[in-house]
Amino acid sequence: MMTVLWSLAFVGALIAPTVTASSATEAGALNKAIPAGWMSKGCFTDSGARTLAAASHESDNMTPKKCIDYCSSYGFTYAGVEWSRECFCDYAIQSPGEQAKAEECDQPCSGDKGQKCGGGNRLEVYHKEEVADPIVLQIVNDTWNYQGCYTDNVVNRTLQTLVRINGGATLQTCVAACTSNEYAIAGYGYTYAALEYADECWCGNSIGGASLRPEKECRMACTADKQEFCGGRVRMNLYRNRATTPLYCPKETCTSKTVSEPFTLLAVYRPQPSSGELDATQIGVFAHGALSIGSGDWRQYTIQDGVLRAQSPDGHEQATSYSRSVNSGESPKFGENQCSDYCIVTDPDGNTLLAAKGFSNVWSLCPNKNAGGRMDVIWAPQADKSDYDLSECKAIDIRLQRVETMNF
């Protein structure tokens, strides 16, 4: 107690010519009885999206000490008083809370008029000393790399698979689940893992239209490990698995690996935009030797023992180009070297879909920045490619359509 009073009196001496006994006493009264090991962080803005959001408490006898005692009893490392009688707790300061002027936190506490307890939409924040804020790990298990804080949408999820983990998710348990065969598609593990809303773990192979946001929007501590951040409200700490895609041609069991009758490929957005059904768009092989949207040089295909063959419309053998190995984050390539990555699967609605390496649900359309926005077909798009921005990629299914019927 003596240390606090002497420190405050000393600070007062620095900022004023003289300090009367009454003013020193008043300064001490404003901060009296703050528990040892806690310090003031100052006045912060507060709003509907709370600056301290993990827990709250109200009392007609509120003081900073009572609020700190309340938050500390539940293990929180931040406490804040507001509007004379309100108390809020958390493990970190949340967005959009920002530092405010000290004089804006000037309302008397309901439990002691001699102390200040924030103000209207203003929070006096206290922090437990020598306790570090949670962190965001940049690399996990040498293969999962942090991509940033990304948006999510409860109607159209950024990642498609929610994994329930008893006791809440941590980064380690989440990436383990997204790698596990129990949750992974075809046994390779998902491309992405994400932590959201303190205890949610999500897995997926593409992130659709999600956008990158400031890190301060992903600052909810994990329920299961208070030293890690687990995203925020419709915000996720996103990680990418660099080990999901082998560079060889694995043999996977599908509905069929041979389709002898010629077909065309149609890109159908998944899910369909809410504005209404979108016409399927035809996919062609362009002169650059990869799959894209539009009137490509070759737009008819067959599959023979897993090799996707692109043919000219008249079907002449000499005008056939063969599929090469499919690599994560790239558009499927064609040439003379054959690789049997392809097969077909049937979705629950009876549609025949093209799959590569056993995956039919990792295709996306991505605007090529270096080719005038040409819409390229990408298998399992990635975040570090120079040709496209991951946030602009849209998930699609690739449906097979017989040349004779042209219906899908």
Distance, CA of 109 to CA of 36 (rounded, Å): 20
Looking at residue 31, its pLDDT comes to 52
Distance, CA of 149 to CA of 158 (rounded, Å): 12
Q: Taking a C-beta distance cutoff of 8 angstroms, is the pair 279, 238 a contact? A: no
Distance, CA of 316 to CA of 396 (rounded, Å): 30
Looking at residue 231, its pLDDT comes to 93
Distance, CA of 183 to CA of 373 (rounded, Å): 35
Distance, CA of 396 to CA of 402 (rounded, Å): 19
Reduced to 3 states (helix: H, G, I; strand: E, B; else coil), residue 53 is coil
Backbone phi, then psi, for 175, in 5-degree steps? Answer: -65, -30
Q: Taking a C-beta distance cutoff of 8 angstroms, is the pair 238, 192 a contact? A: yes
Q: Tell whether omega for the bond before 271 is within 30 degrees of 0, i.e. cis.
A: yes
CB atoms within 10 A of CB 165: 16
Reduced to 3 states (helix: H, G, I; strand: E, B; else coil), residue 128 is strand
Burial (CB < 10 A; 0-12, 13-18, 19+), residue 213, is middle
Q: Taking a C-beta distance cutoff of 8 angstroms, is the pair 242, 139 a contact? A: no
Q: Tell whether omega for the bond before 313 is within 30 degrees of 0, i.e. cis.
A: no
Q: Taking a C-beta distance cutoff of 8 angstroms, is the pair 342, 333 a contact? A: no
Helices (H), ranges, 31-122: 64-73
Q: Taking a C-beta distance cutoff of 8 angstroms, is the pair 327, 377 a contact? A: no
Looking at every residue in the chain, the average pLDDT score rounds to 78
pTM: predicted TM-score of the whole model, two decimal places: 0.49
State the SS3 of 188-213.
Answer: CCCCEEEEECCCEEEEECCCCCCCEE
Closest CA to 174 of 185, 162, 186: 162
Rg (CA), the chain: 29
**Residue bearing tokens 């499927």:** 332
Q: Taking a C-beta distance cutoff of 8 angstroms, is the pair 123, 44 a contact? A: yes
In total, the chain counts a number of residues equal to 408
Q: Taking a C-beta distance cutoff of 8 angstroms, is the pair 380, 329 a contact? A: yes
Could you tell me the two tokens for 109? 């506490």
Instruction: Give the residues of the chain that fall short of pLDDT 50.
Output: 1-30, 185-187, 245-252, 275-278, 315-318, 405-408
Could you tell me the two tokens for 31? 């901060």
Looking at residue 358, its pLDDT comes to 79
